[in-house]
Chains A and B, each alone.
Chain A
């Protein structure tokens, strides 16, 4: 006969207590906190209100709000999200909805089952934070959240237990989980995502260069401290004047904006000659575009990348995750002939714009026939023009080149490159704008070369017959310090530089080097572990061409061994009697040698009394040991001091 009394361990029948709710709400807040910085304030406030509301009910032991009320709040929340984002699907609205639902779930949480579901939702919310950043601080905060949720979950199973003991159990569980987690992380067959289309806003918020360049957009990018990429050189670094990292090449000009325009891929042929060769690996931060960066001039094409006709490296897939590739670059290789159609494209200027610049170019052309003579005049013009370099360029009208060259005379690199290229084209010399980064900084801790968004740059290339495409950096001509000593020393004092580029914070910089070296390791080893790295690791341990079947087989055998080890550990801990019992056993053995063996039914008090009567010489010691044992075993007494006293007394017991 099976009885039908309610099961006291069934979570659906156990009511959630105020203590459980405090833990649950606290750990959910930890998870949601980073989202609050990104979500609109009123949605954050609403989520907080829901938590507070639930807690109010718990304190007053009031019945929970009706299902209809909760449903109404849910509808209002969804409407609010829709008004804010004009959609319910997508990364940001989805996450905001999830955290709202966590609050709503609490409002209908009565039993431990509901609470456990809310805790699982908390685990899920952890991962949504990683959609934005996977940096070490985020990982640390989420580690704390994971620990808190786990402690909460343990609290549901042991409501009478002290939270500290539950926290200890949570730490023990996580420590026991770590080896299995590591094995899974390394060996679980990795698939390259995505499995299906991602929401449209999945990759927003990535900074970097764009397909176009108009006055003002590079100077705003230059205010960002974010890292664009890192490079690790095999041997020595190139000197500062050679640190031109080539990015998108801009061909088409509409009077205001330069853009990439149509292009085609070419079969890569390594350039011949060149003065010096640099071998290095680049770890590129995701920018959601196709281009890769390499020192001029790239002499190899990385895996899964191609080269465009204008020497730009193109990844086959947009760079949406941190990407590592190896490149070789040479300095000043031999010239190559350019297609006539390409050269014609490099001469095109929009008619009707910048009449003064056009006139100036015509004047140069009339005075000097060969192209290189015209180029020299242009270079002189920029050197002597008295141009100022500024992060806050004045706004420009329709004739942007004219206004910059002849009236405002202050600008950022995009102004210089745009004006110079325009002048060259107007003078009949094929020219194009190249964007990318110029400069970089060596981290002395790990010898990694870091290039930031603040080092975004634009320069020109002109085509000279016999010499091919030649780089001319008009910014460098006008403001020589920019190339040799970087952005920070070349803009006027008082301009808003990124914090870490400021000169006076030397001590901060030392700390930043340490931190960034660590972050780079983290990026490579933890975040950069992908199917490719997994293959590398497998061939390193001797499993060439490991497919998912091999991996799964290895994975399960290692996991099995780990579980058995854990089982052996727990059973081993059980088999070992505790120290109190050991001391007592030693005591009974000693007495048994003197003929006073403990009868199986005899309790410690009776036994000690009997033994004391039988061996009156040691009666006092025997009774004392009995009392200590009873105190440790059955009483409230516990602690190392009592235990040590028991052991000492047993050791020193002399029965003669």
Chain B
């Protein structure tokens, strides 16, 4: 098929389809971009019409002619209606939340009918991955399509080309259009489960110092996390309730966890290192500690919380390595 042929030749496709991706803002499917061909059922319908016509001629059936021509007219009107089902549809891309490599990026496309009639059975299909969804747009309204595109590698994942297709109302014609909205999803490195490195307190000189356990003063109880040392579990409290609780000490809050490139074995590849780092960031965030990143050419000050974690993971996702 021509579609498949063009999919392998993006530049030719740009020329044929009349737009150059990615397209910013809201994309309106002007009729120049909406294509239409008869579907297989359409050919079958055509064959039925030919048989009906021959029968009408042979038996000189006036109403047979009327039926044949009414059906032919309906096929023609159906073609216009099928094209109309897509024409002037407005497509805009929403925000895609970052995901880890190996997961699926959830791209949101908002389809806005912008019309007084409803547009049923519109298929949105992601060309690259085959992710697809059929939606019905109500009259005057829109609908959101979530395309789950597998994220294989870290970095920015562009949405790529999306095909919108419909066969409504009669299924005799297949109308489609391509859009490539300016949407991308941040893909964090695939996190590798590994124990956190021992906490490291930072000196002004930047030299490593032996870890100082912050277990001086008991400050209270908090929920158990996997990374917690069994020595800190409040076993008496656990015996009273079902929740695992960890004793917290003031010294621990002050401790800063530095995730440093140099903690890793030198032979490890870049992607493995980043995966390990991503795992550490998750673990560190869970442990509730203050943590910072230190990579060649990149340093993120210690901190904690959702946005800090996001910043760290984004830095890892986009890290180019040292030249």
Residue from A9, A195, A198, A529 in contact with B167 in the complex, judged by beta carbons closer than 8 Å: A9
Contact of A11 among B61, B114, B140, B171 (CB under 8 A): B171
The listed residue (A176, A192, A193) touching B77 by CB distance below 8 A is A176
Q: Is the C-beta of B153 less than 8 angstroms from some C-beta in chain A? A: no
Is A117 a contact of B114 with CB atoms below 8 Å? no
Looking at the assembled complex, report how far the CB atom of A308 sits from the nearest CB atom of chain B, in whole angstroms: 26
Cross-chain contact of A177 among B70, B118, B127 (Cβ < 8 A): B70
Q: How far is the CA of A9 from the CA of B165 in the complex (A)?
A: 8
A552, CB-defined interface residue at 8 Å: no
- What are the interface flags for B39-60 relative to A under an 8 Å C-beta threshold, 1 for contact and 0 otherwise? 1110011001001101111111
Contacts of B168 in A (CB 8 A): 154, 157-158
Q: How far is the CA of A158 from the CA of B126 in the complex (A)?
A: 21
Residues of A in contact, count (CB < 8 Å):
87
Which residues of chain B (98-143) have a CB below 8 Å from chain A?
Answer: 114-118, 120-121, 123, 126-132, 134, 136, 139-141
B196 interfacial contact with A, CB 8 Å: no
In the assembly, what is the distance between CA of A134 and CA of B62, in Å? 8
The answer to whether A559 and B76 touch across the interface, beta carbons within 8 angstroms, is yes
Q: How far is the CB of B27 from chain A (nearest CB, A)?
A: 15
Inside 8 A of B118's CB, which chain A residues have their CB?
161, 165
Of B80-88, B235-243, B275-283, the segment with at least 4 beta carbons within 8 Å of chain A is B80-88
Cβ of A321 within 8 Å of any chain B Cβ, yes or no, is: yes
Q: Which residues of A contact B114 (CB under 8 A)?
A: 574, 577-578, 581
Could you say which residues of chain B place their CB within 8 Å of the CB of A117?
A: 44
- Verify B169–A154 contact, CB threshold 8 A: yes
Distance in angstroms between the alpha carbons of A154 and B168 in the assembled complex: 7
Report B-chain residues with C-beta under 8 Å of the C-beta of A193.
Answer: 57-60
Closest to B62 in A: A527
A146-B67, A181-B66, A633-B141 known; A157+B60 contact, CB < 8 A:
no
Measured in the bound complex, the distance between the Cα atoms of B44 and A638 in whole Å is: 40
A621 to chain B, nearest CB (A): 23
**Known: A2-B4, A573-B116, A633-B140. Is A177-B61 also a contact (CB below 8 A)?**
no
- B31: nearest residue on chain A (CB-CB)? A571
> Which residues of chain A have C-beta atoms less than 8 A from B132's C-beta?
5, 8
Size category of the B interface is 35 or more
Do the beta carbons of B70 and A178 come within 8 Å of each other? Answer: yes
Task: Give the distance to chain B from A170, nearest Cβ to Cβ, in Å.
Answer: 8
CB contacts (< 8 Å) of B71 on chain A: these are: 123, 146, 177
In the complex, what distance in Å separates the CA atom of A626 from the CA atom of B95?
24
Chain A hits for B64, CB < 8 A = 127, 130
In the assembled complex, A57 has its CB within 8 A of some CB on chain B: no
Please tell me if the beta carbons of B116 and A124 are within 8 angstroms of each other in the complex: no
The segment from A386-394, A445-453, A562-570 found at the interface with B is: A562-570
> Closest CB-CB distance, B248 to chain A, in whole Å?
40
Contacts of B97 in A (CB 8 A): none
A160 interface neighbour in B4, B60, B120, B141, Cβ under 8 Å: B120
Contact A157 B171 (CB under 8 A): yes
Chain A residues numbered 439-484 whose CB sits less than 8 Å from any CB in chain B: none
For the complex, what is the distance from the CA of A127 to the CA of B55, rounded to whole Å?
A: 8
Distance (Å) between the CB of B181 and the closest chain A CB? Answer: 15
Q: Which of A194-220 contact B (CB under 8 A)?
A: 194-196, 198, 202
Are the C-beta atoms of A181 and B70 separated by less than 8 Å? yes
A116 touching B59, Cβ below 8 Å:
no
Q: In the complex, how many angstroms separate the beta carbon of B128 from the nearest chain A beta carbon?
A: 6
Contact assessment for A2 and B127 in the assembled complex, using a CB-CB cutoff below 8 Å: yes
B45 partner residues in chain A, CB cutoff 8 A: 120
Q: Assuming the A-B contacts A3-B128, A113-B41, A181-B72, are A195 and B57 also in contact, with contact meaning beta carbons closer than 8 angstroms in the complex?
A: yes
Q: Which residues of the partner chain B approach A196 to less than 8 Å between Cβ atoms? A: 58
Q: Are A139 and B63 in contact (CB under 8 A)?
A: yes
Q: Is B218 an interface residue (CB 8 A)?
A: no
9 A-B pairs closest in CB distance: A3-B130, A177-B73, A180-B73, A176-B77, A184-B69, A5-B130, A177-B74, A158-B120, A181-B73
